[in-house]
Amino acid sequence: MNQLLNPGVIENATPLHPDAQTVTSVQHWTDNLFSFRLTRPRSLRFRSGEFVMIGLPGDNGKPVLRAYSIASPSWDDELEFYSIKVPNGPLTSMLQNIQPGDQVILRPKPVGTLVLDALLPGKRLFMLATGTGIAPFASLVRDPETYEKFDNVILTQTCRDVAELAYGRQLVESLPQDLLVGEEVVEKLKYYPTTTREISPNQGRITDLIESGKLFLDLGIEGFDPEHDRVMICGSMGFNHDVRSICEANGLIEGANSHPGSFVLEKAFVGE
């Protein structure tokens, strides 16, 4: 057995890898989706929405690392991640078996464009996700700065079926009780989950629901306004491409850390 994964070994020992962190909890949401929490290195500072490289030692001892958005907010004592299980994936086929007490390698160099700093000031913030693309937004909806900067926050997640929405739904349902952001969430956050391959209250790709105007109608809000709306996008390549086109057609301009704009996007990390 890989020593790094043996809780018996790590209990009293110094970490076997200089960047190793300890798993504090694991939750399996479906056969294909799980989330887990790690201890946070004291020195790790990050902005909500950023990602880091995490992984496990491979067969040859060389770490197998993949980019993962940090799903917990920047103030949290621990780090949370939300992952797909890719069949035969070099990392996730191992990572899906982690247990509390195991160790995971975390390179403490957070980066990314799904950050509030990359957006110009605005009034409404749309966070549009498919699948595990909700992870950076799970961080941002728990960050008080999101509600300091925006009057309204709209979080959408599109998945194939209802079970795949559970992580996001449970998180959003817990937010009104959150001591830091609870009041702002009740006042400012709208959540709009949709499914494409199973019947649910909101059906269809969010791209179609935006273009038909149904998203705005259902939420009782105005359509896109390039002056005041800001958009963050995180999903598959095709999704990001299509939402970027919608944003540009509506007069929104892509931003980055070096030049804030009215929308930003990042590929949802699949793990593998």
Q: Shortest Cβ distance from residue 243 to ligand A2P (Å)?
A: 7
CA neighbor of 239 nearest in space, from 126, 80, 128, 114: 128
Which residues of this protein are in contact with ligand A2P, per CB under 6 A? 130-131, 158-160, 196-197, 205, 207, 236, 238-239, 242
Query: In this structure, what are the phi and psi dihedrals at residue 192, rounded to the nearest 5 degrees?
Result: -135, 90
**At CA 36, angle to CA 33 and CA 40, rounded to 5?**
150
Q: Shortest Cβ distance from residue 212 to ligand A2P (Å)?
A: 13
Q: Which residues contact 62 (CB under 8 A, 6 or more apart)?
A: none
Q: Give whichever of 48 and 92 is closer to ligand A2P, judged by the CB atom.
A: 92
Distance CA 252, CA 22 (A): 42
138 SS3 class:
helix
Q: Give whichever of 52 and 233 is closer to ligand A2P, judged by the CB atom.
A: 233
Q: Give whichever of 197 and 259 is closer to ligand A2P, judged by the CB atom.
A: 197
CA neighbor of 250 nearest in space, from 206, 204, 210, 192: 210
Q: Shortest Cβ distance from residue 203 to ligand A2P (Å)?
A: 10
Q: Give whichever of 79 and 134 is closer to ligand A2P, judged by the CB atom.
A: 134
CA neighbor of 24 nearest in space, from 103, 100, 76: 100
Q: Give whichever of 83 and 207 is closer to ligand A2P, judged by the CB atom.
A: 207
Q: Shortest Cβ distance from residue 205 to ligand A2P (Å)?
A: 4
Q: Shortest Cβ distance from residue 157 to ligand A2P (Å)?
A: 9
